[in-house]
Chain A
Amino acid sequence: MAANPMTQFEVYRIGPEIKVGAFDISFTNASLFMVISSLAILIIFNIGSKKNSMLPSKIQLLAELSYTFVSKMISDTAGSKAKPYFSFIFSLFMFVLFCNMFGMIPYTFTVTSHIIVTFVLAAFIFIGVTIIGFMKHGFGYLKLFVPSGVPVVLLPLIVVIEIISYLSRPISLSVRLFANMMAGHTMMKVFGGFVISLGIVGGWLPLSFSVALTGLEILVAFLQAYVFAILTCIYLNDALNLHH
C-alpha cells in the first residue's frame, strides 16, 4: 500500500473491461466487496434460519437477535404500518453494516466510503419514501411542509425551510455515512503512516492511537449503519403517519 492515505479509496478494475453501450460496468474492487458483503449476509442468515431448534445455536441466535433488533427499531420509530418495509430496511441495515465492517479488515476496500454508493442508496430511499407518501395521502402529503400551529406571517418562510430540509435529506443521509467512513479510514491511515515514519523509538504513541482508533472505528461502523437505518425509518414514518 502506498503512503498516501487516500489511495485506499481508489477503485480499480478486476478482470476485463465490460462495456454496455457507453457505460463502463467493469467488475471492480468495490463490486468485489459488495458481493462479499452480500454473500456473507446471505450465508450467515441462511445458516441461522435453516434449523429451528428449541435451543438456538449461536449463529441462529445471531440471526434472530438481528431480526428482533431491526423489527423493534422499525416498530419503535415508524409504528406498525411500516411492517411491509421491514425486509428492505433489514437488508439495508445489514448491507451497510457488513460493508462497514468488512472495511475494518486491513487491506480491504470500504464500499460505503464512496459518495456515489451512499448517494444512490439515499436517493433510492428518498424517492421511495416520497412515492409512498404521495400514494398514501395524495396531495395531502404536501401538508408535511406546513407545520400546524405556526403563525400565518411566518408560514412562507417555514414552508421554504421545510422544503429545503426535505430535499436535503438524501444529501445529508449519504454524506453522513460517506464522510464518517472516509474520515475514520483516513485517520487510521495517517496514524499508521506516523508509526512508520517515527520508527521503533517514537512509533509507539501513534501505534497505540491506531489501536484505539480501530475500536472507535468499529463502533462508528455499527453506529453509522444504525443511524442510516433509523433515519430511513424516520423518513418512512413521515410518509406513513402524517403528523404535521
Chain B
Amino acid sequence: MIKKYFFQLIFLNLFFIKEVFAAESGGMPQLNPEFWISQIFWLTLTFGILYIILSKLILPKISSNLELRKSQILENIEAAEKQRNDADTKLKEYDDIILKSKLEAKNIFKEVREKTLKNINSKRENLENEINQEIKNAEQEINLLKKSAPDKINKIAIETSSEILKNLIGADVNSSSISAIVNDLSKRNRNKYYDN
C-alpha cells in the first residue's frame, strides 16, 4: 500500500517540475545593460571609499600593531634570556659560596679540634705531672712517717709505761731506764712489725 502511494507521489511530482522551470524565458539578467552604469558607479564609489579608508587608516594601524607586538615579544624574550643568564651566574656564585663556606667550616672544625686536642693533652700532662708530684710528695711523707714512726711509738710507749708505772708504784721512775728497756724491746721486734 505504502509503496503504491510512494510511486504515485513521485509520478505526480514529475508533472510539477515543468512548473518549477516554467518562468525560464528572461535569460541572464547579467547581460541586461539597464543597470550597468549604476553598478559601475556604485562599485567605484564603495570600493574607492573602502580602499581609501583601509589604506589610510586601518592597514597602517594593523601593521604598526603587528610590528609593536613583534618587537615587544623580542624584547621580552631578550629580557627573559638575560634574566636566565643572570640567574645562572647567581646560582653558580651561590654554589661557589656554599662550597667555599663548607671548606672553611671544615677547616675551622679541624683547627678547633686540633687546638682542643692539644689543649686537652697539655692539660692532661700538667695534671698528670701534678698528680705524680703529689704522689711523690705523699710517698715521701709516708716514708718519712714510716721512718719516724718507731721513734714516736717508742716515745709514746715510754710515756705510757712511765704513767702506768707511776700509777702502779705511786712514785716516779727514772725515765732513762724505761726508755732503755723500750728501745731494747723495739729493736728486738722491729723486724716483726716493719718489714713488710
Residues in chain A within 8 A of chain B (CB atoms): 2-4, 6-7, 9-11, 23-28, 30-31, 34-35, 37-38, 41-42, 45-46, 48-50, 52, 54, 56, 60, 63-64, 67-68, 86-88, 90-91, 94-95, 111, 113-117, 120-121, 178, 182, 193-194, 196-199, 201-202
Contacts and interface: CB of A to CB of B under 8 A. Distances in A.
Give me the 4 closest cross-chain CB pairs, A-B, nearest first. A87-B55, A31-B42, A4-B23, A49-B61
A52 B68 contact: yes
Contact of A54 (B39, B49, B69): B69
A68 B42 contact: no
A201 to B, nearest CB: 5
B46 interface: yes
B45 to A, nearest CB: 8
17 contacts: A4-B26, A11-B39, A24-B37, A25-B38, A28-B39, A30-B35, A41-B54, A49-B61, A49-B65, A54-B72, A91-B47, A193-B21, A197-B19, A197-B20, A198-B10, A199-B9, A201-B13
Interface in B13-66: 13, 16-17, 19-24, 26-32, 34-44, 46-47, 49-51, 53-55, 57-59, 61-66
Chain B, interface residues (CB within 8 Å), range: 35 or more
B6 interface: yes
B59 A24 contact: no
Interface of B: 6, 9-10, 13, 16-17, 19-24, 26-32, 34-44, 46-47, 49-51, 53-55, 57-59, 61-66, 68-69, 72
Q: Which of A37, A88, A178, A198 counts the most chain B CB atoms within 10 A? A: A198
B23 to A, nearest CB: 4
Nearest to A203: B13
A201 B30 contact: no
Contacts of B50: 38, 41-42, 91, 94-95
A90 B47 CA distance: 12
A91 B39 contact: no
Given A38-B50, A116-B30, A48 B38 contact: no
Contacts of A31: 38-39, 42, 46
Given A2-B23, A38-B47, A52-B65, A11 B29 contact: yes
Contact of A64 (B27, B49, B62, B72): B62
Contacts of B9: 199, 201-202
Given A26-B38, A54-B72, A201 B54 contact: no
A52 B50 CA distance: 22
A38 B45 CA distance: 10
Contacts of B29: 6-7, 9-11
Given A27-B38, A45-B54, A91-B55, 8 more contacts: A4-B21, A37-B46, A54-B69, A86-B59, A87-B54, A115-B30, A197-B17, A199-B13
A75 B86 CA distance: 40
Contacts of B63: 67
A3 B23 CA distance: 7
B54 to A, nearest CB: 5
B24 A4 contact: yes
Contact of B28 (A6, A23, A68): A6
B35 A67 contact: no
A68 B58 contact: no
Contact of B53 (A35, A42, A64): A42
From A4, A54, A121, residue with most partner B Cβ within 10 Å: A4
Contacts of A94: 50, 54
Contacts of B38: 11, 23-28, 30-31
Given A41-B54, A202-B10, A6 B26 contact: yes
Q: Most chain-B CB neighbours within 10 Å: which of A26, A60, A197?
A: A197
A115 B28 CA distance: 10
Contact of B35 (A11, A37, A42, A115): A11
